[in-house]
Amino acid sequence: MKSSVVAVLLIALVAAASAEVYFREEFDDGMTNWVTSDWKDAEGATGKFELSAGQFFKDANEDKGLRTSEDYRFYTASAKFPEFTNKDKSLVIQYSVKNEQNLDCGGAYLKLYPAGTEQAHLNGDSKYNIMFGPDICGHSNRRVHVIFEHDGQNHLIKKSITPETDVFTHLYTLVLNPDNTYKVLIDGEEKASGTLAEDWDILAPKEILDPEAKKPVDWVDEKEIVDPEDKKPEGWDDEPAEIVDPEASMPEDWDAELDGDWEAPMIANPEYKGPWSARRIPNPEYKGAWVHPKIANPDYKEDPTLYEYDSFGVVGVEIWQVKSGSIFDNFLITDDFAEAEKYFDLVKERREAEKAAKEADDAAKRAEAEAERAAKQADADAEADAEDEKDEL
């Protein structure tokens, strides 16, 4: 019994020793690790990042992060770290973002780039490995992106993952495993999971439509037909669509010489039955919708290395925002999910503190508005009393 316990402890120690944190950023040293790109300088459209905890926070210093500070701007900043590959290892990407401006149109995602990516000129066309995080524009376009680059193409996840849309801090986590499985968590709660082969169109499909198969020429796929026994009733078309209004009469002041011959107006005929059409009945020859048969795709090949990237070395925020105010913090790139879990309660506590601070601020504003309204009403009442006294005199 004792030996088995020791074995378990040794395995745990080995796992802990082998776990790596490739990048961690909580901005204790300010923005010294970050490089702002110049790709939009010439257009005057480069947005400025600043360090800020925002309007509502738990701790003004600990909660500081990269904050977008100007409306209608492109924001591009990145930080590098020692190059690594995720071959044969899990990859955990995590960060927090607070869209305190109530983001209505703009990105709040990050990208992971290969080592050697030119940070000073990083731009929207720069090759990346993974793009992950929320993107919002209006009520109909709200999603969490999970995009993988493969063979020069960027592949979007086929599932729909809804981001948080309030004004508080939320934690986004992507886990990519060497068995080609993944999961996405928001605030520590799983929102999506599956396999790369099924949830992205990276590989060729397993099956394709049989190019040799053709729908038979005698295939009947019309569900209903005109009833051949149905005949138009006699007199159906006897009534016109409009008739002379029987209630109308020529105005008394009508002058035929000046106004011309008077004609009664036409109205819809209540007896008019409309165009006749034969009723439809089930088609006795109907065979159902023809289904094109599929065959195995000769171009399909399994790829056990879909998850794998040879080089990671830069993480960046490359976004456009109409309204600024997003705060990015708690960046973590590791092969150890336990490291990511350490932030779950931390961010939850921060979010609860933000909510409490905002509620207090909202209550204070309501009280101030009510006091102002009461003061105006008191002034109005005083003026009315003064006028009444003047009238009495």
Spacing of C-alpha 116 from chain mean position? 31
| Nearest one of 285, 328, 249 to 51, comparing CA atoms | 328
Residue 5 has pLDDT above 50, yes or no: no
Whole-prediction pTM: 0.79
Whether residue 193 contacts residue 228, with contact meaning beta carbons closer than 8 Å, is answered with no
Query: Cβ-count burial of 173 within 10 angstroms (0-12 exposed, 13-18 middle, 19+ buried)?
Result: buried
Whether residue 59 contacts residue 139, with contact meaning beta carbons closer than 8 Å, is answered with no
Whether residue 130 contacts residue 316, with contact meaning beta carbons closer than 8 Å, is answered with no
Residue 9 has pLDDT above 50, yes or no: no
| Nearest one of 259, 278, 267 to 242, comparing CA atoms | 267
- Residues with Cβ within 8 Å of residue 232, at least 6 apart in sequence: 276, 278
Rounded CA-CA distance 158/207 in Å is: 18
To the nearest 10°, the Cα dihedral for 289, 291, 292, 298?
A: 160
- Residues with Cβ within 8 Å of residue 328, at least 6 apart in sequence: 65, 66, 67, 95, 96, 97, 108, 110, 317
Write out pLDDT tens, residues 101-134: 999 999 999 999 999 999 999 999 999 999 999 9
Write out pLDDT tens, residues 47-105: 999 999 999 999 999 999 999 999 999 999 999 999 999 999 999 999 999 999 999 99
Write out pLDDT tens, residues 145-193: 999 999 999 999 999 999 999 999 999 999 999 999 999 999 999 999 9
CATH architecture of the domain with residue range 19-204+306-358: Sandwich (2.60)
Q: What are phi and psi of 227, to 5 degrees?
A: -70, 115
pLDDT at 255: 86
The domain limits of the chain are 19-204+306-358
- Tell me how far apart the terminal alpha carbons of the chain are, to the nearest angstrom: 105
| Nearest one of 27, 47, 42 to 326, comparing CA atoms | 47
pLDDT at 305: 97
Rounded CA-CA distance 105/141 in Å is: 9
Collapsed DSSP state (helix, strand, coil) of residue 118? coil
Percent of the chain surpassing pLDDT 70: 95
pLDDT at 157: 98
Going by pLDDT thresholds of 50, 70 and 90, the confidence category of residue 393 is low
Spacing of C-alpha 25 from chain mean position? 25
| Nearest one of 71, 142, 140, 65 to 321, comparing CA atoms | 71
Q: What angle do CA 51, 110, 303 make, to 5 degrees?
A: 160
Mean predicted lDDT score pLDDT of the chain? 92
Whether residue 104 contacts residue 139, with contact meaning beta carbons closer than 8 Å, is answered with no
- Residues with Cβ within 8 Å of residue 337, at least 6 apart in sequence: 90, 92, 175
